[in-house]
Amino acid sequence: MAEEIEWYHEFINKNYKPKKDDVKVLFYYEPAEGITNEDAIGRIASESSSGTWTTLTELPKLLPKVKAYAYEYDSNYVKIAYPIIDFEKGSVPCMVSAIGGNIFGMKALNNLRLIDAELPLDYIKDFKGPNYGVDVIKRIFKRKSGPVTSVVPKPKIGYTAEEHAKKVAYAVWKGGIDCVKDDENLTNQSFNKFEPRVKFLAKYRDKAMKETGEVKDAFINVTSSNLKELERRVKLVHDYGFKYFMIDMVVSGFTAVGTAVELAYDYDMAIHGHRAMHSMFTRNPKHGMTMLFLAKLLRLIGVDQIHTGTGVGKLEGSAESIMAMEKMLMNQEVDKIENVRMPQKWGKIKPVLPVSSGGLHPGIIPAVFDIYGTTNIGLQVGGGTLGHPDGAEAGAKAVTQAIEAYKQKISLEEYAEKHKELKRALEKWGHLKPI
């Protein structure tokens, strides 16, 4: 008899009952031409756990304990159960290199999308989660309720460190905004070097706090070329009295985010997580990884607040997908949404503050609050503040007026009758939803 060449189908078992501590992963998949569903899902389960393309001459005794099984599937969705011992305790990089790795390049699949995974408490328990999470609102800003507001200097780059702090940050802090956020592509450029930016921001933060009596902070971008420099930058931000720092999570990678979390605990700081680059692999509805699962991984590792989209601004992301993600980030237990979200219990891992940003301005802030509510949300308004016809401080006031109008259940137009900054913002942008 011709020797068996393939063994992919050994990783399919419709009668397999996942164990309580299995990691259960939901994929969307599309078999390539001439490939059966079983050929496809066998490859996904095999190549992400312990198999390979051909039968092997010798198999280790432990193999039955590390094999994953596709246990539930139809023509486009498959659930695969992974024994928890497949993954190093406390290491997201290890797990993602398995369930988010080679399988995405297999010729037998036209498309593959990692939708979500139910992580057992036995896996969760080895992670710290956020140092502050949603508690940033009461522990840093001494408030019972959100939003935590921030403005990012626009144009994204071009200001010197002193202009960044004096002309923009000081003005929006005076106008009532809580934080000034570095843009994702501002790190340590020659015209706005990191150290002077931290120093000037600290100087004008203190001035603004003294004049307003309000807590002011900044999301200063510590994204660096290596971990030693990352640590040096976090320490500098801490030494100048900031409670936050920001990191570009995706471009930095899970190991750097894990290091940032260790530093956040060491210095008792909170991390603002920017997700720039995520759209490279989260946007295509048929391939890649959902933002929901990426956000789950970042809550697990310990980022305190994460960009999660607007549903109405310039960047993609539907209100439904945002709400499914926001509940997963905010709640200690969520139920499943068919083919959208797996059930998840979070044990002691703190909730993460969702941050809405991207093409926002006072005229569409109510639409954002209709999705998120106002209690536990970060609201970031860049161009929609600094494009205000009367300048940065007036733009900041218009944002805070729009927030107040919504909280008092007054229409923006009515509230604008007695608040000129909001009126002028509505004259320029109305309720425009930018694309």
Binding partner selected for residue 51 from Mg ion, ligand CAP, none, CB under the kind-specific 5 to 8 Å limit: none
309 contributes a contact to ligand CAP by CB under 6 A = yes
184 contributes a contact to ligand CAP by CB under 6 A = yes
Is 154 known to be catalytic?
yes
The tally of CA atoms less than 13 A away on the side-chain side of residue 403 is 25
Question: Least distance to ligand CAP from the beta carbon of 384, Å?
Answer: 6
**Sole window of 85-93, 178-186, 301-309, 391-399 interacting with Mg ion (rule: CB under 5 A):** 178-186
Among 183, 217, 393, 421, binds Mg ion (CB under 5 A): 183
**Type of residue found at 261:** V
CA 407 to CA 374: how far, in whole Å?
8
Question: Least distance to ligand CAP from the beta carbon of 375, Å?
Answer: 19
Please, which of residues 92-121 interact with ligand CAP by CB under 6 A?
none
Binding partner selected for residue 273 from ligand CAP, Mg ion, none, CB under the kind-specific 5 to 8 Å limit: none
Among 183, 304, 326, 393, binds ligand CAP (CB under 6 A): 183
424 contributes a contact to ligand CAP by CB under 6 A = no
Looking up tokens 């929006």 gives 172
Question: Least distance to ligand CAP from the beta carbon of 309, Å?
Answer: 5
187 contributes a contact to ligand CAP by CB under 6 A = no
Q: Which is the catalytic residue, given 24, 181, 274, 388?
A: 274
Q: Which is the catalytic residue, given 24, 79, 154, 307?
A: 154
- Surface-to-core class of residue 104, CB atoms within 10 Å of its CB (0-12 exposed, 13-18 middle, 19+ buried): buried
DSSP string, 184-211: TT-SSBTTB-HHHHHHHHHHHHHHHHHH
**Sole window of 10-18, 99-107, 175-183, 240-248 interacting with Mg ion (rule: CB under 5 A):** 175-183
For the chain, the first-to-last Cα distance in angstroms comes to 62
**Sole window of 65-73, 139-147, 232-240, 355-363 interacting with ligand CAP (rule: CB under 6 A):** 355-363
CA 268 to CA 266: how far, in whole Å?
6
Q: Which residues pair with 181 in a beta bridge?
A: 219
CB-based closest residue to ligand CAP: 382
Among 116, 182, 184, 304, binds Mg ion (CB under 5 A): 184
Is 274 known to be catalytic?
yes
Structure tokens at 68: 């994953």
Residue 35, sorted as left (phi over 0), alpha (psi -120 to 50) or beta, turns out to be: beta
Using DSSP bridges, classify how beta strands 344-345 and 333-334 pair: parallel, antiparallel or unpaired. antiparallel
Counting runs of H as helices and runs of E as strands, what totals does the chain give? 19, 15
Q: Which residues contact 383 (CB under 8 A, 6 or more apart)?
A: 154, 359, 361
CB-based closest residue to Mg ion: 183
- Measured from the CB atom, is 100 or 358 closer to Mg ion? 358
68 contributes a contact to ligand CAP by CB under 6 A = no
Q: Which residues contact 68 (CB under 8 A, 6 or more apart)?
A: 11, 45, 46, 48, 49, 50, 80, 81, 82, 83, 86
Could you give phi then psi for residue 127, rounded to 5 degrees? -110, 150
State the angle between helix axes of 365-372 and 319-330 in degrees (0 to 180), rounded to the nearest 10. Answer: 50
Binding partner selected for residue 358 from ligand CAP, Mg ion, none, CB under the kind-specific 5 to 8 Å limit: ligand CAP
- Measured from the CB atom, is 43 or 154 closer to ligand CAP? 154
CA 352 to CA 33: how far, in whole Å?
42
Binding string, residues 257-296; x marks residues near ligand CAP by CB under 6 A: ------------------x---------------------
| Count of residues of this chain found to bind Mg ion when the rule CB under 5 A is applied | 2
Q: Which residues would be at the binding site for Mg ion (CB under 5 A)?
A: 183-184
Q: Which residues would be at the binding site for ligand CAP (CB under 6 A)?
A: 152, 154, 156, 183-184, 275, 307, 309, 314-315, 357-360, 381-384
Q: Which residues are catalytic?
A: 154, 274
